Amino acid sequence: MAAEGAAGPQAQGSAWDVFKAFLVLGLTSFGGPVAHLGYFREAFVSRRAWLSEAAYADLVALCQVLPGPASSQVGMGIGLHRAGLPGMAAAWTAFTLPSALLLAGFAAGLAVLQPSAETGWLLGLKAAAAAVVAQALIGMAKSLTPDLPRGALAILGFFPLVLAPHPMTPVLVLLGGGALGWLFLKEDSNGAGEAPGVLNTLPRKGALAALAAFAALLALLPLAAIEGGPAAALIDKFYRAGSLVFGGGHVVLPLLQSEMVSTGFVSEADFLAGYGAAQAVPGPLFTFAAFLGYASEGAVTGPLGAALALIAIFLPSALLLLGVLPFWAGLRENAALRRGLAGVNAAVVGLLAAAFYDPVLLEGVKSLPAALIAIGGLGALYFAKVPQWLVVAAAALAGAVLL
């Protein structure tokens, strides 16, 4: 077992299969990071069985603790588990590329495309996201909080996230869940002996090299920005934003505004317009970097600026995942740490429940028609097993008509 934890399992699939599966999600995954976790669970745990429920929960818990976009990191981890490093690259490319291209295209034609946050079809997509998250919450609660102690941990995790929202609150909740699980959960109530499943295929020396590369880039890119010209400056801005933000998604926006608007690289009007467009496209919100890189008024702009910004903002997440994941899996084999991880997994349910309440439910279901769309979508997903992409498309159409 120790050798497996050091080097990881043999890849079980092809990078092309990973790319095809994630491309569908990249084209249809509306609703933000919490909804993405629901899409991933349905596609890769329930439907394809690429990894177990416990392995998926472990990966989600790790990615919630790491800086960067949690849903994109989970996708990278699934690709890594399925097809090694090529699978990791394929998952990120396929999930990220559709929204990145749409936002770069929007930057090119800003005067033509002006999406409104109150457009009917967009409100329908938000209602669909509520249905997807509710389905994921039900499934994960059944698996990860099957008894009173773990249910109590989930409830304890819910309230801090609702009452004291802050970028660091999810991290503290997960750490608290781990500590309480370690202290109070029984060995026979947390899946003892179950292999974590998602293991890095890099040897541990490679993982340490990834961590060293992460730290070196974070320290040296500011110096390179001074000496290396506009391309290095642009990379530095987005690499730093991707390295220092906890919580992902909307949390990165203040950092990007400080890096791009305050320094004159992008106007306030263009920044806000691009942010509005980012709400209307599928995939990770971090692809907003493609819009900013394309629209930048610096010496590096257009397609090259979009590509550099996009790679730079996601690179810290990839390096951290590669560096930490093999040690996370090895620690999972320790009995005391298994109890702690069971507590973390229960806290993840509380985290998802809090995110479902705010912003998914509060922002996505603001009227009776929107509530009916969300309830109908949940019924179609949970009882009729309708594909998620079809529910999303139907919700958008219903929103265009009713909202």
Asked if residue 238 lies in contact with residue 300, where contact means CB atoms within 8 angstroms, the answer is no
How confident is the model at residue 298, as a pLDDT?
A: 73
How confident is the model at residue 247, as a pLDDT?
A: 55
**Cα(110)–Cα(210) distance, integer angstroms:** 38
DSSP-assigned letter for residue 357: I
Place of tokens 């399925």: 82
The two tokens of residue 158 are: 């819910």
The radius of gyration of the chain from alpha carbons, rounded to an integer in Å, stands at: 21
**Cα(146)–Cα(142) distance, integer angstroms:** 6
Instruction: Produce one character per residue of 296-323: b if its CB has 16 or more CB atoms within 10 Å, e if not.
Output: bebebbeeebbbbbbbbbbbbbbbbbbb
Place of tokens 């541990």: 204
CB within 8 Å of 209: residues ≥ 6 apart: none
How confident is the model at residue 194, as a pLDDT?
A: 47
How confident is the model at residue 246, as a pLDDT?
A: 60
CB within 8 Å of 121: residues ≥ 6 apart: 396, 397, 399, 400
Reported as type and span, the H/E element at residue 306 is helix 302-331
In terms of Cβ atoms closer than 10 Å to its own Cβ (0-12, 13-18, 19+), residue 204 is: middle
How confident is the model at residue 190, as a pLDDT?
A: 41
**Cα(334)–Cα(199) distance, integer angstroms:** 15
Q: Give domain limits for the chain.
A: 12-403
**Cα(208)–Cα(348) distance, integer angstroms:** 27
How confident is the model at residue 10, as a pLDDT?
A: 53
Asked if residue 149 lies in contact with residue 183, where contact means CB atoms within 8 angstroms, the answer is no
- CA distances to 45, 110, 171, 210, 330 from 198, in Å: 12, 42, 21, 18, 11
User: Residue 11: left if φ>0, alpha if ψ -120 to 50, beta else—which one?
Assistant: beta
Place of tokens 């997960």: 174
Alpha helices in 41-119 (DSSP H): 53-65, 70-108
Percentages of the chain per state (helix, strand, coil), in multiples of 5: 75, 0, 25
Asked if residue 51 lies in contact with residue 44, where contact means CB atoms within 8 angstroms, the answer is yes
Asked if residue 27 lies in contact with residue 97, where contact means CB atoms within 8 angstroms, the answer is no
Q: What is the pLDDT along the chain (403 residues), one digit of tens a residue?
A: 333 344 445 557 899 999 999 999 999 887 777 788 888 999 999 899 898 888 888 888 888 778 888 889 999 999 998 999 999 999 999 999 999 999 999 888 874 656 565 778 878 878 888 888 888 888 888 888 989 999 999 999 899 888 887 766 777 888 898 899 999 888 644 444 444 454 556 778 889 999 999 999 999 998 888 877 788 889 998 998 888 776 566 656 667 777 788 778 887 777 777 776 777 788 898 999 999 999 888 767 889 999 999 999 999 999 999 998 888 866 666 778 778 878 888 888 888 888 788 777 887 788 999 999 999 999 998 899 887 778 888 888 998 999 8
CB within 8 Å of 378: residues ≥ 6 apart: 130, 131, 134, 135
Place of tokens 């109530």: 189
